[in-house]
Structure 1
Amino acid sequence: TASFPAKEEQGKEPEMGRQKKPGKEVKPVKEIPFVTVEEFESVPAYMRGRLSYNQVNAVIQEINKAVASKYKIMRQPTKSMSSTVRNLYFRFQEEETKDTKGEFFIVEADIEEFTQLKADKRFHGILTILRHCQRVREIRGSRLVRYAVC
């Protein structure tokens, strides 16, 4: 995803005065790729239970939304945040550990905050499938289970 100007834009002068100072390179938020039908079929039947392929991918979509929302907040300047968003930001800061440095992860509280999902038995079953398919990793420690995007 290189940022080359499109053919129409090449003739235009680049806007001066509104360029940001070169800061840290912001890497894009990692997303969980959807599970393919073949992968879903290869998951042992005891893990799948009564879950369908579409249910698993719907949860992946929701988790991706939650990760994107979380890291959008993490990248905002704290001055521009409302108090509720700032409280979330400080909670996210607290959840970071040396093990999660450079990782994109969420915890169950983020799932319930940013999506319509509930962290119930079905959700945990789907997380087991996602771990099996190497879509997420669990990082455990300091009273929290963090789900890192692989």
Structure 2
Amino acid sequence: MASSSLEDLYLQMNMKISNIKKLLLLRDIGEDHSRKPVLRKIQNEVIFVHDLLNKMESQFKQQEKLKDALKELQKAAGRDQKEAQHLFEHIPRYLPKPPKSCSVVPTVIHKDQTKAEEPKSEKKPAKEKKPIKEAALITTEEFESVPLYMKGRITYDQINAVVQEINKAVVGKYRILYQPLKSLNSQLRSLYHRFIEEETKDTKGVFFIVEDDIKEFTQLKLDKRFQSILSILRHCQRVREIRGSGLIRYAIC
């Protein structure tokens, strides 16, 4: 719409300029008082052309604004595309599974049925499993928020790999603690007693592990990179330290 109106103004201006050129050829008639109306017509045409030029300038400014707006839209689309590509390339390998849905089947009592049939053999209720708290994986947004001096060359996947190994150690430890002591062999009993000795009043109700648990249940190397990743996990509030009795306990937040 704007381009068509601009083209119309351009054609009108050319036509008026052409008319002015023709009229200027007759400017010598200005000496003749009887020809003064022609000069007035030239003046009017010049004024009209001036107005057309003002309109064209306004149209050009609008076109410039539209062009700038399109450039901003293009930049925004480019940023969105890069962000979408980054999210696509950094989809976590292990996503939390959706909770299993359970459906309740209503009991239908027929008119001729006065009592529900008693089961022939009642099964003992299954023991309720005690939950074990695990650390959540780091999101890409959290990874981007970690200061560069903390990350260094550590990658997003390396951090979440350590999170999974820490969770493995936590689950391995508390599965042993949740078992009856009589059901454990001598090796597991030794671990059980160590776990109990490492607990303090500050660890009540807290899921934690120590370096010996990491060595026992995982293949992680407790090197400088591991310590750097622990700093990142503390920054992202996945673990916290509880110190005491010469031990560093890594508690799950």
Q: TM-score scaled to structure 2, two decimals?
A: 0.52
Query: Where does residue 199 of structure 2 map in the other structure?
Result: 96
CA displacement, residues 25-81 of structure 1 (integer Å, 9 cap, x when unaligned): 764111100001110111011110110000000000011111011000000001010
Residues in 2 aligned to 1:120 and 1:144: alpha-carbon distance in whole angstroms: 17
Residues in 2 aligned to 1:106 and 1:6: alpha-carbon distance in whole angstroms: 38
Q: Contact (CA 8 Å) 2:242, 2:250: kept in 1 or not?
A: yes
Q: Contact (CA 8 Å) 2:210, 2:248: kept in 1 or not?
A: yes
CA displacement, residues 67-121 of structure 1 (integer Å, 9 cap, x when unaligned): 0110000000010101010000000000000000000000011001000102111
In the alignment, residue 19 of structure 1 is paired with which amino acid?
P
Query: Where does residue 37 of structure 1 map in the other structure?
Result: 140
Greater share of helix: 2
Query: Where does residue 245 of structure 2 map in the other structure?
Result: 142
Seen in structure 2, the aligned counterparts of structure 1 residues 3 and 44 have a Cα distance that, compared at 3 Å, is: closer
Q: What is the identity percentage for the equivalent residue pairs of Structure 1 and Structure 2?
A: 62
Match of 1:55 among 158, 183, 207: 158
Residues in 2 aligned to 1:27 and 1:84: alpha-carbon distance in whole angstroms: 23
In the alignment, residue 171 of structure 2 is paired with which amino acid?
A
Residues in 1 aligned to 2:100 and 2:192: alpha-carbon distance in whole angstroms: 29
Query: Where does residue 84 of structure 1 map in the other structure?
Result: 187
Seen in structure 2, the aligned counterparts of structure 1 residues 3 and 56 have a Cα distance that, compared at 3 Å, is: closer
Residues in 2 aligned to 1:83 and 1:133: alpha-carbon distance in whole angstroms: 38
Query: Where does residue 46 of structure 2 map in the other structure?
Result: none
- The structural deviation recorded for 1:18 is 2.2
Residues in 2 aligned to 1:58 and 1:111: alpha-carbon distance in whole angstroms: 13
Query: Where does residue 213 of structure 2 map in the other structure?
Result: 110
Q: Contact (CA 8 Å) 2:130, 2:178: kept in 1 or not?
A: no
Query: Where does residue 127 of structure 1 map in the other structure?
Result: 230
In the alignment, residue 74 of structure 1 is paired with which amino acid?
L
Seen in structure 2, the aligned counterparts of structure 1 residues 132 and 85 have a Cα distance that, compared at 3 Å, is: same
Residues in 2 aligned to 1:4 and 1:16: alpha-carbon distance in whole angstroms: 25
Q: Does 1:73 align with 2:179?
A: no
Residues in 2 aligned to 1:52 and 1:5: alpha-carbon distance in whole angstroms: 39
- Using CA pairs below 8 Å that are at least 6 residues apart, which structure has the higher relative contact order? 1
Q: Secondary structure of 1:118's match?
A: coil
Query: Where does residue 124 of structure 2 map in the other structure?
Result: 18
RMSD of Structure 2 on Structure 1 (CA): 2.7
Detail structure 1 runs of 4+ shifted over 2 Å in the superposition. Answer: 1-8, 15-21
How many aligned residue pairs are there?
Answer: 145
